[in-house]
Structure 1
Amino acid sequence: MGRELDKLDREIVEKLSPDARVSNRQIADELGVTEGTVRARVKRMEEQKQIRITAVTNIDRFRDAALAYIWVEVERSDQTRAIAEALAEVPELGFVGVMLGRSDILAITMVKNTEHLARFVHSNISTIPGVRRTESSLGVNFLKHDYRMARIVG
């Protein structure tokens, strides 16, 4: 297991969050450290799976698709983890999380329309043993979508 992120690590992540294409040299200049320090820390954080640098889809640009939130209730609480892991294997799901509250699991995907959502849920989620029921909703207008949602707090 890797070490926890220190203050400098968190500052580097904060600089990368709005645009991961920013150069190590620019980050180093802004933080008052060497470019090698930034490069080494980014490499370590990636190797230890503390960060992942990736492209993020801008959902505002999809005119023919909607973001679908699929809330899943399981039959028994001891099945939650296994069902969540099974859902995480479904390639179309971009997010799967175990939740506290009314539902046990939340899964998020993109769909073309309500018919597409219904087919997807019935063929990919309801068929998993232990799924008691699902409830779905579609996101229609997004007033704020912060791509840095996963930034480190603290």
Structure 2
Amino acid sequence: MADALTGAGATPALDDIDKALIRLLQTDGRMPYSKLGPAVGLSSAAARQRVQRLMESGVIEIVAVSQPLKLGFHIQAMVGIRADGDIRALAAALAEVEQLVYVVVSSGHYDLIVELVCTDARELLAIVNDRIRTLPGVTSTETYNYLYIEKVKYAWGTA
């Protein structure tokens, strides 16, 4: 059965050790198994097997999280999109736009919400006007520029 939010299969049951491994990796995704295992009461090999299982099941991904402003992307924005027709097809088309880092089918005021990063206001205009608004099914957009981000959190679900 597909997961309603991600389309992934059923999530495996997580025990306290799995959750502890996830918490540690959320703090330091490069922690060696030689430290990770003993921290949760496992051998290095057992910790490696558990982490591998968590990754293969899609429960976790270990990635580098970059800071857009430090990479030359000076504009971050969220765009609410109203649409008609098949919003799943529109979401798939939006997912092909490189600058969009987040594409969500939603309920409420907007049918889809996308987040993007770009270098400047001209690029933002080009993405919204030339890439998003021209897609079949888009009826309107509303753009929210981020002025300042107080908090971003990637650690959840392990308490």
1:139-150 map, 5 Å? 139-146=146-153, 148-149=154-155
- Which residue is equivalent to 2:101? 94
Q: Which runs of 5+ in 1 are unaligned?
A: none
- Which residue is equivalent to 2:5? none
Q: By how many angstroms is 1:60 displaced?
A: 5.0
Q: By how many angstroms is 1:16 displaced?
A: 0.4
- Which residue is equivalent to 1:49? 58
The question of 1:120 aligning with 2:127 is answered yes
- Which residue is equivalent to 2:157? 152
Q: Which runs of 5+ in 2 are unaligned?
A: 1-8
* Corresponding residue to 1:27 among 22, 36, 42: 36
Whose RCO is larger (CA < 8 A, sep 6+)? 1
Name the CA distance, whole Å, in 2 between partners of 1:75 and 1:121.
Answer: 17
Pairwise CA RMSD: 2.0
Q: By how many angstroms is 1:63 displaced?
A: 5.9
Name the CA distance, whole Å, in 1 between partners of 2:13 and 2:123.
Answer: 42
Name the CA distance, whole Å, in 2 between partners of 1:110 and 1:64.
Answer: 6
Query: What secondary structure, in the 3-state scheme, does the structure 2 residue paired with 1:87 have?
Result: helix
- Identity among equivalent pairs (%): 27
